[in-house]
Amino acid sequence: MKIVLVLTVIVVFCGHVAEGAFGCPEGGQMTDYLRQQVLDFHNNFRTNVGRNEPINYKNNNFTFESGQNMYKVKYNCELEQYSAGPTSQCTWEANNESKAAGAVVIGNYFPQYDDTTPSHTFYNAMRQWLWEYYNERTSNETPTKANGMEGATLLHKYNIEVGCSFRNSCWINENGQPVKKRVAVCSYWRRGTNATNVYEKGVACKTDEDCTTYPAKCEPQWGLCVLKSQPPAYGRLSYRGLNLTGENNQSVALHGMCLFGTNNGDGIPFYVPSAIQQLKCNWNTNAFRAVLDTGNGADGGYIMTERDFPNKKHDKYRLDTVIKAAIEFGMYVIVDWHGIAGQIALYKLQATAYFSYVSERFGMFPHMLYETFNEPYNSTWTPFLKNYHLTMINAIRAFDKKNVIIVSPPMGDYPRNDTPIESPITGHVNIAYTKHFYAASHKLNSQYNPQKYLDAGLPLFVTEYGTTDHTGRTGYDAVEMQKWWDYLDANKISYFNWALENAGEQRHMCSALVNKTAVSDMSLDSKLTTSGRLVKTHYKNQNNGVSC
């Protein structure tokens, strides 16, 4: 078998016209009946594996070690289209379109004279893939090894969607002779390997609390987790020129709050699902920025506590928690590597590993955006900072080909001719440049005016702004803040306020909440600071595409 960059499972059948109940384009050989059969086979086999139940293939009974966090697969019409491309050419090799999308393609040919039904052909193919994975799963071969990869992909812990296609009649060259065969393909977002960590070993779910990879409900009768998710306001985002664009090609903007640091006691209480739900339902925001602190703090920080990842107080766990909440409640989330100054080179390897992790686990969801560094003070753009961002972009794009990535230009005292304007990032799509400002310090008509970026054709995204001075400790400037809002709205530039924390005005004037505000009270006007009232009122008067 041949392996390609896009995971597609191929099987061949006689087909009917699609009926359309799944929402997929009609006219191909896939039918809604077959789509349902594909789902049933996937989910039945996942139940078998999760519960250590035997699977039979060619008179061989085999079982896998029982698994936890086994998720029920959903059908994806986009993935079906990535499968249809290869099958239309009588192959199961990924084409350029499916490769660019990050799909994964695997498959088989089947004899034309085989009188089994199309659904039975899929069933046999999946059993074959699992049998091969069973025999190869302890191998240390590289991910390019064919045998075992298909079954590993079918069971992959991050594969929760599938889309398939087939063609009934193909002439295939075998040993110099044309042979008539069927070909069938199923595409996924993640490639499995024949390693042993394809899925989590454990016990199949019995309660909702057993489902931890993504927000889910457990179906105990099957031992499978069922994803709980709402689409974000505008679907998957992309950039067209300067404009952030929704899936219906409309120009959009995101507005929301920055969570405070994952390692700071004033911000930690708000890394919970109920806070994210309130930001949507009570603050009328369509997005939030999740801040992964890297250094010291009340609870260590990601770098210091990385060795303690199994501990659920870990910064990484907190970020995972709110990312899952964004998926469940239909919010966009910016994953921010919240480094400053000299941490660029110091923690580059850890940043690369983190973005690889988070994009592999969550990158298939349209809710995701990435901010590769927070505030690189006194850094040069070329080659130092630009190369850092390119490293992070490549790490993310290995798993997430589509979602928006936001990169930070130099901040602070640096040569004004050393910016992305002179040397933008090229060769990548959906890249934006961040702008941070604080209204009492950074006047719109000063050196902080972002218009020069727009004039150069570079899209801007304000991942952090404040109503106070840049220290966050003195001086509100509501008049200047309104000027900034007017300018950003006129140019459809997204913006996020710093910060959702309960430090109170005495310590942080930029804090949205008064001292020691509980999560349950974060939407009460009586618990808002001057900055919090100003920002919440502004967001409540917007149309941000959300409702509860």
Secondary structure of 144-168 in HEC code, one letter for each residue = CCCCCHHHHHHHCCCCCEEEEEEEE
Q: What angle do CA 412, 417, 419 make, to 5 degrees?
A: 65
CA separation for the pair 125, 438 (Å, rounded): 59
Closest CA to 407 of 289, 255, 303, 424: 424
What pLDDT sits at residue 307? 52
Q: CA separation (Å) from 48 to 59, 87, 309, 534?
A: 17, 29, 30, 55
Instruction: For 365-412, give the DSSP string.
Output: STTEEEES-SB-BT--IIIIIHHHHHHHHHHHHTT-SSS-EEE---BS
Torsion region of 241: left, alpha or beta (phi above 0 gives left; psi -120 to 50 gives alpha): left
CA separation for the pair 304, 213 (Å, rounded): 24
CA separation for the pair 199, 147 (Å, rounded): 18
Q: What are phi and psi of 333, to 5 degrees?
A: -135, 130
Q: What are phi and psi of 64, to 5 degrees?
A: -105, 160
CA separation for the pair 284, 537 (Å, rounded): 10
Q: DSSP 3-state helix, strand, coil percentages of the chain (rounded to 5)?
A: 30, 20, 45
Domain boundaries defined on the chain: 7-227, 238-400+429-540
Helix axes 118-136, 32-50, angle to 10 degrees: 30
CA separation for the pair 89, 543 (Å, rounded): 46
- Cα-Cα-Cα-Cα torsion 480, 481, 485, 486, nearest 10 degrees, comes to -30
Q: What is the DSSP code (8-state) at residue 25?
A: P
Could you list the pLDDT tens digit for every one of the 548 residues in the chain?
A: 333 333 333 333 333 333 458 999 887 789 999 999 999 999 999 999 999 999 999 999 999 999 999 999 999 999 999 999 999 998 888 889 999 999 998 877 777 666 678 888 889 889 999 998 998 875 554 433 445 789 999 999 999 999 999 888 888 888 888 888 888 899 999 998 766 679 999 999 999 999 999 999 999 999 999 999 999 999 999 999 999 999 999 999 999 999 998 888 899 999 999 999 999 999 999 999 999 988 754 456 777 655 554 454 588 999 999 999 999 999 999 999 998 877 888 889 999 999 999 999 999 999 999 999 999 988 899 999 999 999 999 999 999 999 999 999 998 644 467 799 999 999 999 999 999 999 999 988 776 788 999 999 999 999 999 999 988 777 899 999 999 999 999 999 999 999 999 998 888 899 999 999 999 999 999 999 999 999 999 999 999 999 99
Residues in the chain: 548
List residues bridging with 289 in a β-sheet: 258, 334
What is the architecture, at CATH level 2, of domain 238-400+429-540?
Alpha-Beta Barrel (3.20)
CA separation for the pair 82, 445 (Å, rounded): 48
Identity of the amino acid at 7:
L
- Token match 């019995």: residue? 206
CA separation for the pair 279, 275 (Å, rounded): 6
What is the architecture, at CATH level 2, of domain 7-227?
3-Layer(aba) Sandwich (3.40)
Closest CA to 503 of 260, 257, 256: 260
List residues bridging with 174 in a β-sheet: 177
> Max alpha carbon distance in the chain (Å)?
83
Question: Burial level of 447, CB count in 10 A (0-12/13-18/19+)?
Answer: exposed
Question: Burial level of 290, CB count in 10 A (0-12/13-18/19+)?
Answer: buried
Q: What is the DSSP code (8-state) at residue 136?
A: H
Q: b vs e for 467-485, b when ≥16 Cβ sit within 10 Å of the residue's Cβ? A: bbbbebeeebbeebbeebb
CA separation for the pair 74, 433 (Å, rounded): 35
